Amino acid sequence: MLFLNLAFMAKKQKKQKRDTADDRSLITVDPALSSFDGHPFFEKKAADSKALLEKVGIPKPQPPKS
Amino acid sequence: MFVAEKYEYTADKTFKVYSFISYGPKGAIHKIAKFNELYADIYNFGFGDHDLVSGAFSDTRISNNEDMSIIMGTLGNIVYDFTNVFPNAKVMIRGTSIARTRLYQMHINRFLPQLEPLFLIYGLRNERWESLKQGRNYDAFLSYRRIIIQ
C-alpha cells in the first residue's frame, strides 16, 4: 500500500512539474541585442513616468478581505 | 499562463529589453520594448519602432501594418515573461498620447479575464490610483504580479 501511495505521489509530482514547465514560456536571449541603456528615447519616457509617480505616489495593494 | 496571438521575440541578456518584428502590408518593422527601473522594483515600460539604419526610435508614427492585435498580444506576453524573471516588479504603462493610452487600455480590457488572475492592475484617474474598472478612462496603468509560476 505504501509503495502504491509513493508511486501515486511520484506520478502526481511529475505531472505537476510538467504542467508548470508548460505554463512558463522560455525566453530566447539574443546576446547581440543592445540594452539601449542611456538611450534618450527610453530615458525620456522613464523620466516622464518618474515625475508622474513623484506627484501621484504608488498604490499599495489591499490585503484580501477575510 | 498568458495566451495571445504574438510575434516571436528575443530578450537581451538582462531580460529588460525585448525585440520583435511586425509584419504586414507596410513591410517589416522592428519593435523594441524596454523596462527602465525608476525605483527599486518599479519599472517603466517603454515601447517604440526602431529604425535599424539610423538607430532612431519613434512612438508617434502610425505604422498601419494591420497587426495591432498581434503587437498588443506580444507586449502582453513580454510583460508576463518579464514578471516571471522579476516577480516583484511593478510595471508602469502609459502611452505617449491620450490615443495611445486608450489603445493600451482597450487591449488590457480585452485581455482582462486572462490578466486579472495574474496581475493586480491599477489605473490612474484624476491623479489617483484605483483598481482597474472597465468603462473608465485612465492616464496610466500600474501592474503588480499576483502569481508566479515556478
B1–A41 CB contact, under 8 Å: no
Q: Name the residue range of residue B121's domain.
A: 9-145
Q: Is A43 on the interface with B (CB under 8 A)?
A: yes
| Residue B95 resides in a domain | yes
B3 found inside a domain: no
Segment A2-61, tens digit of pLDDT: 454 545 444 444 443 333 444 556 899 999 999 999 999 999 999 999 999 999 999 977
- Indicate whether B4 belongs to any domain: no
Domain membership of residue B150 (yes or no) is: no
pTM of the model: 0.84
Count chain A–chain B contacts defined by CB atoms under 8 A: 99
Could you tell me if residue B14 is inside a domain? yes
Asked if the Cβ–Cβ distance from B129 to A46 is below 8 Å, we say no
HEC string for chain A: CHHHHHHHHHHHHHHHHHHHHHHCCCCEECCCCCCCCCCHHHHHHHHHHHHHHHHHCCCCCCCCCC
The predicted complex's ipTM stands at 0.88
> pLDDT tens-digit profile of B52-97?
889 899 887 777 888 999 999 999 999 999 999 999 999 999 998 9
